[in-house]
Amino acid sequence: MQGPDKGEAGKKGMRLTDKIVSLIQKLYSLPDQVSEDRYVKLRRNMAVLMFLVTAVPLSVMLIINHHQYQSALRSEAVTQFRVLENKAKHSFELFLQERLSTVKYIANAYSIEQLAQDGELKNIFYTIQQNFSGFVDLGLINPDGIQVNYVGPYDLEGKDYSGTSSYQEVRIKGTYISDVFLGYRRFPHLIVAVERRDPSGKNWVVRASIDIDTFNDIIASMGLEADSDAFLLNRQGIIQTPSKFYGQVLDECPIELPPKTFQPTVIEMTDPEGRDIFLSYVYFSKQEFVLFLVKERSLLLRSWYALKGQMLVVFSLSMVLIAFIIFRLTGLMVRRIKQADERREAAYRELEHNQKLSSIGQMAAGVAHEINNPLAIINEKAGLMQDLLKGAEDFARKDKFLGLVQSIIKSVDRARGITYRLLGFARRLETHYEVLEVNNVLREVLGFLEKEAEERNVSIHLEFSEDLPKIHSDQGQLEQVFLNLMSNALAAVQDHQGQIQIRTWQINEQTVCVSIDDNGCGMDNETLRHIFEPFFTTKKGYGTGLGLSITYGIIKKLGGDIKVASEKNVGTTFTIYLPVKEGTEKGTA
């Protein structure tokens, strides 16, 4: 069973996840309307998501690799350091052990009497000097601690060592290797002494000084880089061989001695001079020395820093490249989405428009049909009345009557014209296809309007393509279309400065185009949205609002298309696309 605490924690968890989800939803929500803002947000969301999906795994990989490389390179460097130190330690130990064994051999192979002879000791000394490097002098100390014989550069014969700690130590331990010290000639050396224990009870000591130049040779043979330091210390922390960083022989080393260990050990530390260093150290097991190997951390990890720099450059370049690609890709995708949305919207609007046209068309056709019959009767009766009046004798106000009857007949004509147009709009008119030249149709229609254009001083400029192919279409209906568009253009332009341009051209093998361009009043967006709707007109009082809807219906029926571009107070261009071959109706309900 779940305890109350667990239940509370679970609820809190749920609340947190809900909050995160709602935050993401908020961030990723898009405005419902198809607006610029929607696409900007969509692009931003896509870009952020794509960037996260690519950048996060790359960054995680970089961090993991960073740690792995760092630890691998560090352990490689540290291992090299340890191996080097181990080798150097063995060389030192070997050197000292060899010198000790040599002195041991002299003490054990010769009697005190032999060693006490001047010539004999000299012989032995020269022999060992030839075979082993580093020996500076050789002396024999008798059981009373007095150096009774001595071969070497100093005058040490007769010197009493009985009170010295080195003599005491050799008497206790049997062998002795001193720390480094500066002798009379002020050059650093150390002492190796061995006690010979004679069965007669007389014990004597053979003592030799060793020059530590060989130590420097061993350090040099380690092949350290110029920026590394290696030196020996005694167990009191006194420097025994010159150090590059921490002083000369017999100076106190500023680094405190680390805990004793006979295996090379590497520690990272900051030295008293503030350098970040790797210190590898090892205690000698048989002698009282400690070997220090020092290298600045930055130098030891130089290759790591170089690699790290390269990794960062590659990472940054990849990020820039990814960001660039995402930027371009999201731009392209959002553009495509926007185009698809616009196409869908246009298709939807056209469908809606066509449905509207279709239903209004049906209604209009019905009304026109119904009105046509009474109109025919009125026309007939009015004609009869006119004939009767004409044949009758003169009577008062006969002319007035005749005038009234004529105006009835005129109005009926006008009403018939409207019903005829209504029927045309409703596509009751049959389409008669024939082969025709669009340029000729346009010229014929122009013939109707030329007079008006001339009177109003409106210039009509023609730019007809001469090699326009003949098309299969309905001459009468095309005439109606051109007449509507040209009449509108004429109505839109001002007297004296109006200009209308009519162009024809072929855009591909299947389509020819006609454009009618005017510099008239133009239309605002609101008007543009409604112009193809039946009964929409801005010409209050004299416009029927049927011209463009009929035009639209005819063009669609003939398998073509019509486009309009207009700017308020600048002008309007209607472009008609007509199929060369007999067209089939497109996109109409």
Q: How far is the CB of 411 from ligand ADP (least distance, A)?
A: 18
Contact characters 13-52, ligand ADP, x per CB under 6 A: ----------------------------------------
Q: How far is the CB of 427 from ligand ADP (least distance, A)?
A: 16
Angle at 469 between CA 468 and CA 470, to 5 degrees: 120
Q: Which 506-565 positions form the footprint of ligand ADP (CB under 6 A)?
A: 518, 520-523, 527, 531, 536-539, 543-549
Q: How far is the CB of 546 from ligand ADP (least distance, A)?
A: 6
Q: How far is the CB of 328 from ligand ADP (least distance, A)?
A: 42
- Dihedrals phi, psi of 13, to nearest 5 degrees: -60, -45
Residue nearer to ligand ADP on the CB measure, 122 or 568 = 568
Q: How far is the CB of 39 from ligand ADP (least distance, A)?
A: 31
d(CA 426, CA 366): 9
Residue nearer to ligand ADP on the CB measure, 149 or 572 = 572
**DSSP state for residue 157 in the 8-state scheme:** T
- Expressed in percent and rounded to 5, the helix, strand and coil fractions of the chain are 55, 20, 25
Residue nearer to ligand ADP on the CB measure, 513 or 548 = 548
3 state SS of 222 = coil
Angle at 13 between CA 11 and CA 14, to 5 degrees: 65
Residue nearer to ligand ADP on the CB measure, 112 or 550 = 550
Q: How far is the CB of 550 from ligand ADP (least distance, A)?
A: 8
Residue nearer to ligand ADP on the CB measure, 178 or 484 = 484
Instruction: Please name the residue ranges forming H helices in 110-164.
Output: 112-116, 118-131
Q: Which 564-583 positions form the footprint of ligand ADP (CB under 6 A)?
A: 572
Residue nearer to ligand ADP on the CB measure, 149 or 566 = 566
Q: How far is the CB of 450 from ligand ADP (least distance, A)?
A: 18
Q: How far is the CB of 340 from ligand ADP (least distance, A)?
A: 30
Residue nearer to ligand ADP on the CB measure, 242 or 534 = 534
User: Nearest to residue 206, comparing CAs of 132, 112, 96, 98?
Assistant: 112
Residue nearer to ligand ADP on the CB measure, 478 or 492 = 492
Two tokens at 451?
Answer: 């007079």
If one counts every other C-beta atom within 10 angstroms of the C-beta of residue 157, the result is 15
Q: How far is the CB of 439 from ligand ADP (least distance, A)?
A: 21
Two tokens at 113?
Answer: 């009497």
Q: How far is the CB of 516 from ligand ADP (least distance, A)?
A: 8
Q: At which residue do the structure tokens 């309307």 appear?
A: 33
If one counts every other C-beta atom within 10 angstroms of the C-beta of residue 202, the result is 11
**DSSP state for residue 77 in the 8-state scheme:** H
First and final CA of the chain: distance in angstroms? 66
Q: Among all residues, whose Cβ is closest to ligand ADP?
A: 547
Residue nearer to ligand ADP on the CB measure, 102 or 488 = 488
d(CA 487, CA 148): 145
Residue nearer to ligand ADP on the CB measure, 95 or 532 = 532
Q: How far is the CB of 446 from ligand ADP (least distance, A)?
A: 16
Q: How far is the CB of 535 from ligand ADP (least distance, A)?
A: 8
Contact characters 479-508, ligand ADP, x per CB under 6 A: -----x---xx--x----------------
d(CA 268, CA 485): 92
Residues touching ligand ADP, count (CB under 6 A) = 23
* Parallel, antiparallel or unpaired: strands 228-234 and 203-211: unpaired
Q: How far is the CB of 37 from ligand ADP (least distance, A)?
A: 32
Residue nearer to ligand ADP on the CB measure, 253 or 493 = 493
| CA distance readout (Å), 236 to 194, 254, 258, 366 | 23, 12, 11, 123
Instruction: Give the number of C-alpha atoms closer than 13 A to the C-alpha of residue 513, restricted to the C-beta side.
Output: 15
Residue nearer to ligand ADP on the CB measure, 296 or 533 = 533
Q: How far is the CB of 349 from ligand ADP (least distance, A)?
A: 17
Element (H, E) at 501: strand 499-508
Q: Give the sign of the dihedral formed by CA 351, CA 355, CA 360, CA 366.
A: positive
- Dihedrals phi, psi of 433, to nearest 5 degrees: -80, 140
Residue 139 contacts residue 152 (beta carbons within 8 Å): yes
3 state SS of 109 = helix
Residue nearer to ligand ADP on the CB measure, 239 or 516 = 516
Contact characters 447-486, ligand ADP, x per CB under 6 A: -------------------------------------x--
d(CA 227, CA 512): 86
d(CA 354, CA 365): 16
3 state SS of 320 = helix
- Dihedrals phi, psi of 358, to nearest 5 degrees: -60, -45
Residue 104 one-letter amino acid: K
Residue nearer to ligand ADP on the CB measure, 553 or 560 = 553
Q: At which residue do the structure tokens 């008006």 appear?
A: 452
Q: Which 143-162 positions form the footprint of ligand ADP (CB under 6 A)?
A: none
d(CA 307, CA 319): 18
Task: Return residues touching ligand ADP (CB under 6 A).
Answer: 484, 488-489, 492, 518, 520-523, 527, 531, 536-539, 543-549, 572
